[in-house]
Structure 1
């Protein structure tokens, strides 16, 4: 996947051509018992008249006419065939940010959609708006336990579950095996740690800089990349309740210093701005031999790359680590009860193992449930394309993405200050100290 911009990001990026995991010889995450495909809503939900026609408005973050729209349209049609009294009308909202803006406008105008896919990190903004339905009583505990724990982090506030994982991702390392071989590196061995990453990148960077060893995006989701490096150094950058950030911890400083040094000091990555959307194109064209990016780009790289490529865990510093990313399914509060029940039914439909497996194959996003990886469909796909298992295997080292109250403001200030450090107009310490002070000012009212 984060984040990916991880604005349209995870979907649009896959659909149009741009979209975030990790891998090496790490142990595979074992499949655990997962909920049956037909897991029903919790018994506490009172049934309504199932014969009454219901039309659901489903906001989805992708540009109209993209390949993803065909997948969503087909899922809506298939659901209607199984549930003739429920019609799902997808509304394609553009990027994640554009879709969130449209949802916010609709909620404020007392015209909420019924359900939507929005960034998992929009959680606290939606809670503040009192826009979304508490899903804890709508599903059984067994249903939620079927999802990978790393993806459930950004669905909750305390013990309350507000959304369901859908198109989720992590950051992974993509590398060009042909260029590895040409540089005298083992094409079956990705760099396992930061030291190896710099050494490999130096060997893969040509003297005329027509080929770089590594590219890490520095627009849109530079906070996501910094968070990954911070997790590898031993700390996350946000509290579990979305009320505090830890931007100026020593581990974060070590992470940002490494990030900035790759271009400004080590000269193994271009200096300055590296656009989120163009880094995958640089990788596919051979302009860079390695990249950090969302696993949501996996299908695009598989389709477009004309060379042998590998996918690996992000290299470790003190440990492996990556934040999760991508979008969740939200049900809205200010809609009729029969629409809420129909929305829950559609979510159950979308998260059945075979559909989760097919969505992962079609898009490159990580299958969100353990049961999906037990399907013959995904087992056979991974057998033929083992790169697809890396993001799943890395989940054992993953943690929740940056998500706070006033998340848009906090993310923007952090992004801006990180970019200033990458451009050399601030030192990493200055950038992090400023970020901490600004974020504390924004979040102090939520800490009472």
Structure 2
């Protein structure tokens, strides 16, 4: 790909608002602000003759707790490699900083990478291809043990570039107490029609069925449930203006017009949806499986019962996967790449996927972890964690075309316009978005 085209693609990537495929507050300073302790750690490792590599990660709160714990355990597990973990904000922040550091020649050896961005980063030459490493260490890595439903975004053009790490799907969070108080079966809703019916009953009780942002991740799920796809098979044209892609927008617009759900807009839309659910103003919310632990704590603190479920089906169930994988940057030295590979293998092991799943709620990425006695016991005690695992049978990878992050922004804007503007039909809004998307995808 020509440099001009790739530079434009990277600009698109960094300016786009990616789907919120994880949770956790971004209340930490940048790695630069934390440089004192990190520099001290690196200096100490160097004096001990260890190979020191940097790992940049996204998100705070329980997600950060889990990542920092894993890094600490890795460093203590051997005496050859010292990993210095540095917080870099959300995925957008992280991606922008990695690109800038790569251009300046001092990128971290390892970084989280939101899955839909893998194609852009790989095709730009920023990522180390991992196929040879995986083939060499196949007995130790056991690549086939990763859940097949999570591997679609690990490959770009048939080559392996990442290992599934903290991965997710959107699920339905239900305030069971509100449903029971309204005389509704807490086992539902299981379909779009049932969701509408539940929302009507809740409205009569003075409550809101759902507060949901026009999030691209959730929209992708509704398109899949309708039997559609976001892009054409070859990724060169938009497909979301098909009847299957327009149906979710029509559904949302209808429910909003009748006061059955709320769709907030703007940068705080997701936070508004979470607050409405936490404050028991809305009975349902869509959210990442990464929020299970935190949501259970909120429900307990606010005195209501929480259950999770598949996202309601239309023609069928369907969800995109999300979250991040671990990747190695391509400009690291050979020694750093080998150290980074050891770190990737360790972080994505059976034992560590069990830990991060129980601590946060992200999907256990390995089949052996799901089948382990530890997680089977955990699922029996906390069935809310198992829903996303079971829903994986209906999962599909996210598009990874270079222009897709900008396409996602265009689609979200079109959805919001269709819902808020009485004069704009969902079909017209999505047709207009498709024309803009086609120009980006054809480059």
Match status 1:213 vs 2:209: yes
Partner residue of 1:337 out of 334, 339, 344: 334
Partner residue of 1:14 out of 20, 24, 47: 24
Contact 1:164 1:330 in 2 (8 A): yes
Change (3 A) 1:271 1:14: closer
Contact 1:295 1:365 in 2 (8 A): yes
Q: Where does the alignment leave 5 or more consecutive residues of structure 2 unmatched? A: 1-15, 28-47
Match status 1:357 vs 2:349: no
State the partner residue of 2:271.
Answer: 277
Contact 1:7 1:95 in 2 (8 A): no
- Cα distance in 2 for partners of 1:143, 1:436 equals 41
Match status 1:167 vs 2:166: yes
Q: Please give the root-mean-square deviation of Cα atoms over the aligned residues, in Å.
A: 2.2
Give 1 or 2: higher helix fraction.
Answer: 2
Contact 1:206 1:212 in 2 (8 A): no
Match status 1:325 vs 2:322: yes
Contact 1:157 1:241 in 2 (8 A): no
Q: CA offsets per residue over residues 306-326 of structure 1, 9 Å max, x none?
A: 211211111111110111111
Change (3 A) 1:376 1:126: same
TM-score by length of 2: 0.85
Match status 1:89 vs 2:84: yes
SS at match of 2:313: coil
Aligned residue pairs total 398
Change (3 A) 1:8 1:235: closer
- Cα distance in 1 for partners of 2:123, 2:208 equals 44
**Residue correspondence of structure 1 range 286-301 to structure 2 within 5 A:** 286-301=280-295
Contact 1:14 1:363 in 2 (8 A): no
Instruction: Give runs of ≥4 in structure 1 deviating > 6 Å.
Output: none
Q: Where does the alignment leave 5 or more consecutive residues of structure 1 unmatched? A: 18-50
Change (3 A) 1:95 1:7: farther
Match status 1:247 vs 2:240: yes
Contact 2:227 2:316 in 1 (8 A): yes
TM-score by length of 1: 0.84
Change (3 A) 1:430 1:8: closer
State the partner residue of 2:427.
Answer: 429
Contact 1:162 1:330 in 2 (8 A): yes
State the partner residue of 2:179.
Answer: 180
Give 1:196 deviation, angstroms: 0.8
**Residue correspondence of structure 1 range 40-439 to structure 2 within 5 A:** 53-63=50-60, 66-140=61-135, 143-187=142-186, 189-206=187-204, 208=206, 211-218=207-214, 222-239=215-232, 242-264=235-257, 266-273=258-265, 275-305=269-299, 306-424=303-421, 426-439=424-437
- Cα distance in 2 for partners of 1:355, 1:444 equals 41
Give 1:267 deviation, angstroms: 2.0
- Cα distance in 1 for partners of 2:216, 2:66 equals 30
Give 1:67 deviation, angstroms: 4.0
SS at match of 2:210: coil
State the partner residue of 2:11.
Answer: none
Q: CA offsets per residue over residues 130-186 of structure 1, 9 Å max, x none?
A: 100111111146732211222111111232111111111111111111111111112
- Cα distance in 2 for partners of 1:384, 1:10 equals 25
Tell which has more relative contact order, 1 or 2 (C-alpha 8 A, sep 6+): 1
- Cα distance in 2 for partners of 1:247, 1:162 equals 28
SS at match of 2:365: coil
> Which of 161-170 and 240-249 deviates more?
240-249
State the partner residue of 1:36.
Answer: none
- Cα distance in 1 for partners of 2:294, 2:18 equals 17
Give 1:295 deviation, angstroms: 1.3
- Cα distance in 1 for partners of 2:203, 2:327 equals 44
Give 1:271 deviation, angstroms: 5.0
- Cα distance in 2 for partners of 1:186, 1:216 equals 21
Contact 2:20 2:217 in 1 (8 A): no
State the partner residue of 1:33.
Answer: none
Change (3 A) 1:113 1:257: same
- Cα distance in 2 for partners of 1:357, 1:267 equals 41
